[in-house]
């Protein structure tokens, strides 16, 4: 069965890049540009992984991750946080919110796909 990935990213170019790369990798992808719709979209799409931008316009990606991890239906879905925040302590703060993976922007395709596949393998185990 095809693995499903929800991509929550408000930057059009980044969202398109992530979706194109993931689709080329054989994944079913659901793009979400509006962080306010991310939880609702996740419930409807039942993803195997969520790629989450942390610096969204309307809502914090950290808050969305915390909300997901507190939701009975979504709490086990792994989250790969992708962010321009790459300062000291940012990765720890993002992981403490519940993200299982972390990449700083700009993201290279090789490490991005390696992180996605790594989290998918953990989810399947």
Q: What is the pLDDT of residues 25-52, one digit of tens each?
A: 999 999 999 999 999 999 999 999 999 9
Residue 117: is its pLDDT beyond 90?
A: yes
The pLDDT of residue 1:
80
Q: Residue 70's pLDDT band (boundaries 50, 70, 90)?
A: very high
Residue 122: is its pLDDT beyond 90?
A: no
Domains and CATH numbers, the chain: 4-124 (3.40.50.2300)
Residue 86: is its pLDDT beyond 80?
A: no
Residue 125: is its pLDDT beyond 70?
A: no
Instruction: Tell me the pTM.
Output: 0.95
Mapping DSSP onto H, E and C, the string for the chain reads CCCEEEEECCCHHHHHHHHHHHHHCCCEEEEECCHHHHHHHHHHHCCCEEEEECECCCCEHHHHHHHHHCCCCCCCCCEEEEECCCCCCHHHHHHHCCCCEEEECCCCHHHHHHHHHHHHHHHHC
Q: Residue 88's pLDDT band (boundaries 50, 70, 90)?
A: confident
Angle between helices 12-24 and 109-124 (to 10 degrees): 60
Mean pLDDT (the chain, rounded)? 94
* pLDDT, mean of residues 99-106: 94
């Amino acid at each position: 069965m095809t693995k499903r990935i929800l991509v929550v990213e408000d930057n059009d170019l980044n969202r398109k890049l992530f979706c194109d790369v993931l689709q080329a990798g054989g994944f079913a992808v659901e793009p979400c540009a509006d962080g306010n719709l991310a939880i609702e979209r996740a419930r409807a799409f039942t993803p195997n992984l969520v790629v989450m931008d942390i610096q969204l316009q309307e809502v914090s990606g950290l808050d969305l991750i915390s909300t997901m991890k507190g939701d009975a239906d979504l709490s086990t879905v792994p989250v790969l946080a992708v962010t321009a925040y790459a300062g000291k302590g940012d990765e720890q703060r993002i992981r403490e919110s519940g993200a299982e993976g972390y990449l700083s922007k700009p993201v290279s395709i090789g490490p991005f796909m390696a992180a996605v596949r790594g989290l998918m393998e953990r989810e399947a185990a």
